[in-house]
Structure 1
């Protein structure tokens, strides 16, 4: 189901500046213009940050960490500021959601849901600021006491992608701040608006100057400095696996700590006794949520051969009802594709699969909705594990259907890729769910549901899906170093005196 896009009327593109050391600056470079993928008009302008801008931002964060108040505040003081930021995020949610909608092409209803989730994450991180603690050991003998401290790691470079602009920075920055770190943040040059507004929010909430610096610009110009500079102690990156490898190589020059949340090619394994009504709904959601531009997308269905035909037909019928259209329409479920180049790449995967022997059961082509760039919800059947569309991250609304006969075969297909971010298993037999869950190599395994989440649950992947975990009670610990105090009590017998 499609609907034509309405032109933006009475709309003026918004001009932004970068935040460096508590001041808004135009930077030393040119201007980046963002054209809305759903409406085809310029909606935002940002400074194209330079290497010099990145150096100034890192220097500000270094000074704020080494000499400023933020790392030396109590956990309660930092927590109160983060809670105030969460309240302002909630109050400005409509403005932030609008920016994410027009810059990324995601549906406005989805963007508002993400903002609610982001506010919850900031509140959760605020609670962890007061709960961060080390360990003590009084079992080492009468003359020894051991204390293990957790100290903020220092300056953190945070680099975020375009597909969830506000949500993903909210999975990183509040935990770094809760630990007492300072940060330099670079959002994608395609979707920088809401992160820059976050800078306004943090200033209003009381975050001191230099603690959070926000740069706009490209990876080669700005990101390269953020990942190699010796004054940066840690890099937290979300994006493609290819750029993640480059980030890790850059950080290795000075042995920085690295946290990477990268790609996924996530399977849903479905057995005949599953609740197929629930699964069909989850399959459509998992494939087309955020137009499939989601590392967690359920892009591979691994169906038992006895139900594959029936289930594929049911998914196709429900997919026809999915509304593709104007991102600003509250009824839209699938919005625009981020760039024309990415739309072409998605189409290339579909064409390649068809040439390799897969069948296009639904969709398969771009949609002309009058403005912007859109892709039809697409289902490919007859996909085999060796095809590129079954192994590589398409990052679009494309669902690949594979089949299996035995549990061993299902697990083998699920694990036969480079990624291990998430997976789903569907069966009314919970023994089956647990067996699959234990054997599939993925950071998250959903059982009889898909793409649920909570701030309390860790998120991250195995293998080339990344390193480390975000969210959960240990997320704040990722931004710390441990320091051991080994304390001697009373007189010490010296080594020399024992001779």
Structure 2
């Protein structure tokens, strides 16, 4: 019996006409002033997928100027919520129309499975519809209890021009967790997608133009973090930066933004624990654990990569997870049967393998997996679904984000020990608890430091529910009403309404 389930590549090579991507600045599609470009090869199939204009400081500054002009001098910020909502709804319809095209190019640039990509594009359209609904609910408050002479009004206004910097692991979904909420609030934006996955953001820009978004409201600059992301983070014309990516880069963005004290919203890394108590449904837990760690090949900030299981059931649970790991189909991401696709790059593949090797050398036991695998018919980068047992809290694999299909298993004896282990990390993005006792679940939810707590499930998500982290997993929230509030500034207006009364000196 083979250790893993492989989905081979197609009998004939996949053919593709490579995309040409350009910047969107002030409503125009433009090349870089110096003509520079960069290529993206498919991490699964090896062919050239896209050739994109490589932006520099000049393109970034031009995009910021266009967004600032659209905010300061345009109509978007003052447009009635009804009209903004109508445009956002049109974008959702266009995303639905282009779902197959967007998903295919995302698969080829990122390596993720086609069925997953299609589901993500569907979810992204739903986010635009939800943001459209929120656009009509933006309002402030009034205070008529300040005395007979005063009326207080609290206004909620768009924060201004927003720099949106998105990662490679969910390139279309994550821009859709940010941009429609910024637009619903009345902001303008400059978007920088990852240089590894630029194409679907460019397609979104095309759909925004088709939907009738005014020129300059959304601009797209392609290129690398230095100088594009760095310029967005430090430029005084950018009022806010919303970033999803690594904690290390998030810290640099905060430092870069400190010179202008701009608002920074960060969704960063995680080393997310799932705690399994002895009364848990082990079949359900094992299934969710396998999903949580192998989804998107583990290249997911919400990956359930750290399992903390009661030692009475640890051996049983690990055996169940290992059995499921053997059945998870991975390989050709264009095959609908595939559930685990390719790793994003050679460098990241080596990083994942380095973590596994270091854990083994530190005394951990590799139960299954632990190596780079060749998939027949593909020139791709694939890493075997891997389970590592006998992990101790001090090991690097128990503390650092691997960002790959690698599960670390720790054990506990008491509830207090489980909660201490769950909190024993610099991250605080998400956490899960498995128990039939509601008191155990609620105690865990209240005592664990994480932005999202799942009980007897993993990675369910809804547009209505806020998402974000504690500690070094970030600051601010996306999704839900909280995701809209991130892009609003509060302004106090205090109005003296009485006539003929002196403010200070009694002239009467």
Structure 1 residues without counterparts, runs of 5 or longer:
none
Identify the match of residue 65 of structure 2 among 39, 56, 59. Answer: 59
Identify the match of residue 25 of structure 1 among 12, 17, 30. Answer: 30
Identify the match of residue 7 of structure 2 among 3, 6, 31. Answer: 3
Aligned to 1:130: 136
Aligned to 1:176: 182
Aligned to 2:487: 479
1:367 aligns with 2:373: yes
Aligned to 1:103: 109
**1:249-398 to 2 correspondence within 5 Å?**
249-369=255-375, 370-398=378-406
**1:224-239 to 2 correspondence within 5 Å?**
224-239=230-245
Q: Distance in 2 between matches of 1:74 and 1:457?
A: 25
Deviation at 1:498, TM superposition (A): 7.7
Contact 1:155–1:184 (8 Å) recurs in 2: yes
1:405 aligns with 2:408: no
SS at match of 2:7: coil
Deviation at 1:464, TM superposition (A): 0.2
Aligned to 1:157: 163
SS at match of 1:131: coil
Structure 2 residues without counterparts, runs of 5 or longer:
none
Q: Distance in 1 between matches of 2:473 and 2:325?
A: 28
Structure 1 range deviating more: 251-260 or 139-148:
139-148
Contact 1:5–1:38 (8 Å) recurs in 2: no
Q: Distance in 2 between matches of 1:494 and 1:407?
A: 62
Q: Distance in 2 between matches of 1:488 and 1:69?
A: 30
Q: Distance in 2 between matches of 1:117 and 1:8?
A: 30
Q: Distance in 2 between matches of 1:184 and 1:242?
A: 22
Contact 1:165–1:195 (8 Å) recurs in 2: yes
SS at match of 2:261: coil
Structure-1-length-normalised TM-score? 0.99
Q: Distance in 2 between matches of 1:467 and 1:115?
A: 26
RMSD of aligned residue pairs (Cα, Å)? 1.0
Give 4+ residue runs of structure 1 displaced > 6 Å after superposition: none
Q: Distance in 2 between matches of 1:388 and 1:472?
A: 34
Q: Distance in 1 between matches of 2:13 and 2:259?
A: 47
Aligned to 1:495: 504
Contact 1:443–1:459 (8 Å) recurs in 2: yes
Contact 1:121–1:455 (8 Å) recurs in 2: yes
Contact 1:186–1:215 (8 Å) recurs in 2: yes
Structure-2-length-normalised TM-score? 0.97
**1:181-200 to 2 correspondence within 5 Å?**
181-200=187-206
Contact 2:343–2:381 (8 Å) recurs in 1: yes
Q: Distance in 1 between matches of 2:72 and 2:14?
A: 49
Q: Distance in 1 between matches of 2:176 and 2:98?
A: 15
